[in-house]
Structure 1
Amino acid sequence: MSRNRLSLLLAFVAMAVVAVGGFFLAVQPQLALASSALDQRSSVEETNSTSRSELTRLRERSAELPAMQEQLAQLSASVPDTADLSSFIADLNTVAASSGMEISSYTTSDAVAYAPVAAAAGTSGAASSATPAPSASPSATASSVPTAPAAPQAVTNGAITGENFSVIPVTVAVDGTFDQALTFVDGIQHGSRLFLVTNVSSAAKSGEDGSTSDDSTWTFGGSIYVLADPSTTSSVTPAAG
């Protein structure tokens, strides 16, 4: 092989080496950077899409914020974080005045820690051990056999405990007619403060000449409630009024 051909072959080999080296030293890193940039772009676009969806959701929730705040204010007034008996008494006076009645007495007892309602123990066992009822006669039909109503299911919330929820027994007596008493009890049960009436009694009043009067003394007993703010630890212990 002549020297010229050898030189030409070496030149081609050198050019190939330079080309391959240039690819690995210059082009390949740039391709890797471009691929990494594409991956990062896809990741950023996915993150942006998620952020846009979350922003849309937050805007929708923000539009509902005024209604939610109004509802929270109503619920907080219904079951406040303090006894606030003065406001409750003012509400009672307002309802009594609007119904044409007069409050003759009002008492409260010390607050009692809430005790969650528990299902009666042994209910299922008692039912299974009970003596079986005699079978119905062939002439009796299914529709003629009365069915005992099912007891309501007790519903509790683990967030409501005796540590943060208090029950204040209340008794209020008012003087007036039967229709006025209906108006009064409807007003106190639909007032801003939750007042659960659990018992009602009445006593007829006599007129000045001893005759029977249309007015009676109506006594409503029940409870109001206090849900303590989690940031406070003070207990509610109002004295009897």
Structure 2
Amino acid sequence: MDKNRLWIIGCVMVMVVVLLGGFVLGIQPQLAAAAAANEERASVATSNAGQSAVLDQLKKDFENIDALNAELAPLSASVPSGTGMPAFVNQLDALAGATQVTLDGFTVTDATPYAPVAAPVAAADPSAASTAEPVPTSSDAAVPTAGVPPVTSAQITETNFASLAVTVTVSGGYANALNFVNGLQTGERLFLVTGITTTAVDAAEGETASGAVSSVITGLIYVLVPTEGQAVAVAAG
């Protein structure tokens, strides 16, 4: 093999090495960068599409903002964010005047965190046989009965919902007192009546029996706890 052929072969090998080096050091990084840019562009396009859908939904919701606010207003009055005691006292005064009773007293305790309601205990199956020694029971013992499971929501927790125990005392005719209780249960503020006691009011000396009663009504009102997690507390009225 002469020197010219060796020189040609050497030049060809050098050219191949230069091309491979140029591809590895120059072209391949550029191709990788272009591929990464394409992936990022696709990701941004997907993100923009999602944000556009959210924006379209927000625009649609904003078109109905007046209807949503109108729907929210009575719900906020029923279970306000915070105690809302001044508005509730005004409601009691107005209800007392409308039902012709006298509002004699009103107290409210500090808020208590919400506690989930336990489902009723189902009665044991009488057909189930037992090999254990029977246990004597009293005839006065309460027998568990099955009931309708309470309605609960995972969105209502002890951190965002609380109740306040309220006692209201009114005096007036018995029928008027019942109307007052009905007004409490159907009024603007959500009120759960837990008990009511009535006591006849003696007529003053020289007057005929008036049929008036003094009614003590106990119940619960509810509040949404502020999002900052601050405890809701009110002074007894």
Which TM-score band applies after superposition, normalised by the shorter structure?
A: 0.5 to 0.7
Is it true that 1:189 corresponds to 2:165 in the alignment?
no
Is it true that 1:54 corresponds to 2:63 in the alignment?
no
Q: Which runs of 5 or more residues in structure 1 are unaligned?
A: 133-148
Residue from 20, 23, 29 that aligns with 2:19: 23
Assess if the C-alpha contact under 8 Å between 1:203 and 1:218 holds in 2: yes
Equivalences for 1:83-98 in 2 at 5 Å? 83-96=83-96
Could you tell me how far 1:161 is from its partner in structure 2? 2.8
| Normalised TM-score (structure 2) | 0.61
Residue 170 of structure 1: aligned partner: 167
Residue 158 of structure 2: aligned partner: 161
Is it true that 1:78 corresponds to 2:78 in the alignment?
yes
Assess if the C-alpha contact under 8 Å between 1:164 and 1:229 holds in 2: no
Assess if the C-alpha contact under 8 Å between 2:80 and 2:224 holds in 1: yes
Assess if the C-alpha contact under 8 Å between 1:92 and 1:188 holds in 2: no
Amino acid of the structure 2 residue aligned with 1:238: A
Assess if the C-alpha contact under 8 Å between 2:197 and 2:216 holds in 1: yes
| Normalised TM-score (structure 1) | 0.60
SS in 1 for 2:16: helix
SS in 2 for 1:38: helix
SS in 2 for 1:111: coil
Residue 110 of structure 2: aligned partner: 111
Residue 34 of structure 2: aligned partner: 38
Query: What is the aligned-residue identity percentage?
Result: 21
Assess if the C-alpha contact under 8 Å between 2:81 and 2:224 holds in 1: yes
Assess if the C-alpha contact under 8 Å between 1:164 and 1:230 holds in 2: no
Amino acid of the structure 1 residue aligned with 2:107: T
Over residues 122-178 of structure 1, what are the superposed CA-to-partner deviations in whole Å (9 max), with x where a residue is unaligned?
x45x513x478xxxxxxxxxxxxxxxx951213365863399623222325375796
Q: Which runs of 5 or more residues in structure 2 are unaligned?
A: 129-144
Residue 124 of structure 2: aligned partner: 127
Amino acid of the structure 1 residue aligned with 2:148: P
Number of aligned residue pairs:
212
Residue from 226, 233, 236 that aligns with 1:236: 233
C-alpha spacing 1:117/1:177, structure 2 compared with 1 (3 Å): closer
